[in-house]
Amino acid sequence: MAHERAPWQRTHTCGDLNISNEGEVVVLNGWIENHRDHGQLVFVDLRDRYGVTQVTAHSETEGIVDGALELLQRLGAEDVVSIRGRVRRREGGSNDERATGEIEVLVQAVTVLNEAETPPFEVLDDVEANEELRMRYRYLDLRRRPLQEALIKRSRFTTAVRTYLQDNGFIDIETPILTNSTPEGARDYLVPSRVHPGRFYALPQSPQVLKQICMISGVDRYYQIARCFRDEDLRADRQPEFTQVDLEMSFVEENDVLDLVERTVVHAFKQGFDIDLPTPFPRMSFEEAVARYGSDKPDLRFGMELVDVTQHAAASAFKVFAGAVERGGIVKGICVKGAAGDYSRKKIDALTKHAQEYGAKGLAWAKISEKGVEGSIAKFYEGDAGAELIQLMAAEPGDLLLFGADEAKVVHRALGEVRLKVADDAGLRDPQTFRCCWVLNFPMFEWNEDHQRWQYAHNPFSAPVDWDNTDFEKDPESHRSRAYDFVMNGWELGSGSIRIHRPELQKKVFDFLGISQEEQERNFGYMLEAYKYGGPPHGGIALGVDRMVALALGRQGIRDVIAFPKTTMAVDLMSQAPSAVAPEQLAELQIESKARQDTPEEQVE
RNA sequence: GGGGACGUAGCUCAAUUGGUAGAGUCCCGGACUGUCUAUCCGGUGGUUGCGGGUUCGAUCCCCGUCGUCCUCGCCA
């Protein structure tokens, strides 16, 4: 037997009604967004998740309940109400900006469901109160259309990912949130164990090891939309907890993973955001990406590639160039088309400063005119040398040339960042344009200056490209791994690899990384043991959900696509987490804090 | 751990060379029958984040501190 509905309950949402409902008596529930009071005539915009409907109260309406008009006059922003009335075509002309703009609901009765205090900021789509306030009252901010849109599209997106992977034989497996700390990688969030005093769980930085174990278990195709935790300093695109589409496949090689992921991403971007990603995603090696774009996450929405002029520069009269080459460095340049006029000395200084933030000593520049090379390096580039440089850079009159001369790593980094900055200035990074690519074959290892040792470049489970050459001691830098990154518009959105599935090779990598036998045993013993019982060849990837959604919606950071985000100090301004706990709780865990503010009483002050 | 920006009315911002704070909006009261961020009239509202210093006098200068954001390092 069907439940009887209360009389205040809605018959339609605030986005439902249009001219086809004309004449119907309806009930709407929602929040009062705006309120236009003409005395005997009152307009109220009623909002819910689905839209906004104009509600009109008129004293002479047939059947209007006594006092309804006065009540509506008295109510204000964010009061929650139920409105009963008849749908009719608007008398004052329609509002084309709303789906419901042709009609209005002529009020017969008003029920107050809950009155709201005056909100600390106005809940309007285009009102931007400062972020601190918005996060403190996150529930109010979330009522705004741009935030609701993010939540809705994010949900559609993850649903599309799930559907697609399910249809392709993947099974969703939950892995533990309470797991083990590992010394490598990011700092862990720790959770003390009550039943094992002095011991700690760690929250997972990713389900990496467990998904590989799933492959050993014969799961064959695993996925999970998994929460990951890393206790590192935050950025606009980094939160202490974030979400990944994590997947792993058995008996595969790069092509299998890349093709599957490409299809999944294309499908989910279409379903979630109605965005058509251009396919196929180009593939390039790490080496090529760095050489051409100065970055392992190249933005392919525009060209302006780095041009190698090292050979030419070696013979240059310009000491900065020749000297850099002599010391084993390189010289590269970018050609900014038609920008000579746009860059004053002051703006070039700003670019130089930008380059210096990324380790460059400076930035050499030239403006090209009909007469040849002008600017800081002009006197070294008169006549043939200048003509040659112009030809190498494929420059034309009106172009701006920018050069970096240093060791290769520095030149690539700095010039790569300058390339992005210049493109930003010129509006070449259109947020509505999407260009994806794959970057392949990362180095296995990189030298860590601080710790004076080699460390893994990607993750320690990535297989080497050359299975037959695992003599890592010999020229460590030359070894390439079967790791790949998924990149869109200069953002790294995913990272994965074909894994090492033989325990002896995995041990060899751990050995080379200087992880002791005891550490290997303690942290990865169960994994190495598992492989002994028959681990299939496998590989996978993890895709950053927050970043994908932010990019698709053209948001600057990921905070706006997370319902309840944290600040750069990892604080939740709404709940005030993290907070002090009762002394009894600490005692039970056998924990003493050396910090102040270690009891709730002190924290309040 | 380092660098930078910001902090003034509930909100968004302004305030000359250092001379004791003002606008819009919100809110409150009034008028108003076709608005759509209604309009018009009137009104309330301030420990200038906090603490200290310089000064006859500090929103303004200096030091410290707290918070938010951006960023390098860190982090995949």
Please check whether residue A159 lies inside any domain of the structure.
Answer: yes
Angle, CA A290 vertex, CA A284 and CA A291 arms, to 5°: 95
Burial of A501 (0-12, 13-18, 19+ CB in 10 A): buried
Give CA–CA dist A164/A262, Å, rounded: 12
pLDDT class of A1 with cuts at 50, 70, 90: low
**Shared-domain flag, residues A177 and A274:** yes
**Shared-domain flag, residues A215 and A278:** yes
Beta bridge partners of A448: A453
Give CA–CA dist A366/A455, Å, rounded: 40
Rounded distance in angstroms from the CA atom of residue A357 to the C1' atom of nucleotide B64: 28
pLDDT in tens, A310-341: 999 998 989 999 999 999 999 999 999 999 99
**Shared-domain flag, residues A198 and A80:** no
**Shared-domain flag, residues A406 and A448:** no
Residue A446: what pLDDT? 87
Rounded distance in angstroms from the CA atom of residue A237 to the C1' atom of nucleotide B13: 29
Task: Report CA-CA distances (Å) from A109 to A41, A76, A446.
Answer: 15, 17, 71
**Shared-domain flag, residues A69 and A35:** yes
**Shared-domain flag, residues A458 and A555:** yes
Rounded distance in angstroms from the CA atom of residue A262 to the C1' atom of nucleotide B4: 39
Q: What would the mean pLDDT of A12-32 be, rounded to a whole number? A: 97
Rounded distance in angstroms from the CA atom of residue A517 to the C1' atom of nucleotide B2: 36
Beta bridge partners of A542: A246, A495
Of A18, A83, A15, A73, residue with least CA distance to A41 = A73
Does position A603 have pLDDT exceeding 50, yes or no?
no
Of A299, A312, A304, A296, residue with least CA distance to A336 = A304
pLDDT in tens, A261-297: 999 999 999 999 999 999 999 999 999 999 999 999 9
pLDDT in tens, A518-565: 989 988 999 999 999 999 999 999 999 999 999 999 998 999 999 999
Which protein residue has its CA closest to C1' of B30? A39
Contact A8, A27 (CB under 8 A): yes
Which protein residue has its CA closest to C1' of B68? A132
Which protein residue has its CA closest to C1' of B39? A38
Residue A62: what pLDDT? 84
Please check whether residue A461 lies inside any domain of the structure.
Answer: yes
**Which nucleotide is the nearest neighbour of A76, by CA and C1'?**
B27
Please check whether residue A598 lies inside any domain of the structure.
Answer: no
Which protein residue has its CA closest to C1' of B6? A130
Q: What would the mean pLDDT of A74-83 be, rounded to a whole number? A: 95
Give CA–CA dist A48/A52, Å, rounded: 7
**Which nucleotide is the nearest neighbour of A38, by CA and C1'?**
B32
Full residue range of the structural domain in which residue A359 is found: 302-427
CATH number of the domain within which A402 lies: 3.30.1360.30
CATH number of the domain within which A51 lies: 2.40.50.140
Rounded distance in angstroms from the CA atom of residue A183 to the C1' atom of nucleotide B7: 40
**Which nucleotide is the nearest neighbour of A455, by CA and C1'?**
B76
**Shared-domain flag, residues A161 and A280:** yes
Please check whether residue A323 lies inside any domain of the structure.
Answer: yes
Rounded distance in angstroms from the CA atom of residue A15 to the C1' atom of nucleotide B39: 28
Total domain count, chain A: 3
CATH number of the domain within which A544 lies: 3.30.930.10
Q: Which of A427, A445, A462 is the last residue of a domain?
A: A427
Rounded distance in angstroms from the CA atom of residue A24 to the C1' atom of nucleotide B61: 69
**Shared-domain flag, residues A175 and A275:** yes
**Which nucleotide is the nearest neighbour of A244, by CA and C1'?**
B76
**Shared-domain flag, residues A205 and A153:** yes
Rounded distance in angstroms from the CA atom of residue A126 to the C1' atom of nucleotide B11: 13
Q: Which of A406, A427, A448 is the last residue of a domain?
A: A427
Please check whether residue A603 lies inside any domain of the structure.
Answer: no
Of A69, A60, A70, A67, residue with least CA distance to A91 = A60
CA A484 to chain centre: 18
pLDDT in tens, A154-177: 999 999 999 999 999 999 999 999
**Which nucleotide is the nearest neighbour of A60, by CA and C1'?**
B33
pLDDT class of A184 with cuts at 50, 70, 90: confident
**Which nucleotide is the nearest neighbour of A296, by CA and C1'?**
B76
Which protein residue has its CA closest to C1' of B25? A122
Please check whether residue A124 lies inside any domain of the structure.
Answer: no
**Which nucleotide is the nearest neighbour of A131, by CA and C1'?**
B68
Q: Which of A114, A133, A164 is the last residue of a domain?
A: A114
pLDDT in tens, A89-124: 998 889 999 999 999 999 999 999 999 999 999 999
The reply to whether the predicted model has a pTM over 0.80 is yes
- Give me A333's structure tokens: 């340049």
Which protein residue has its CA closest to C1' of B40? A38
**Which nucleotide is the nearest neighbour of A89, by CA and C1'?**
B34
Task: Report CA-CA distances (Å) from A492 to A10, A211, A463, A488, A565.
Answer: 45, 21, 21, 7, 20
**Which nucleotide is the nearest neighbour of A187, by CA and C1'?**
B75
Rounded distance in angstroms from the CA atom of residue A116 to the C1' atom of nucleotide B10: 14
ipTM given for this complex: 0.93
Which has the minimum average pLDDT: A133-147, A294-308, A329-343, A590-604? A590-604
**Shared-domain flag, residues A361 and A420:** yes
Please check whether residue A3 lies inside any domain of the structure.
Answer: no
pLDDT class of A458 with cuts at 50, 70, 90: confident
- Give me A302's structure tokens: 């525009």
E strands, A101-202, in order: 103-114, 171-172, 190-192, 200-202
Nucleotides of B under 7 A from a protein CB: 1, 10-13, 25-28, 31-39, 67-76
Please check whether residue A594 lies inside any domain of the structure.
Answer: no
Rounded distance in angstroms from the CA atom of residue A123 to the C1' atom of nucleotide B22: 26
Beta bridge partners of A103: A89
**Shared-domain flag, residues A384 and A481:** no
**Shared-domain flag, residues A472 and A539:** yes
Q: What would the mean pLDDT of A419-447 be, rounded to a whole number? A: 94
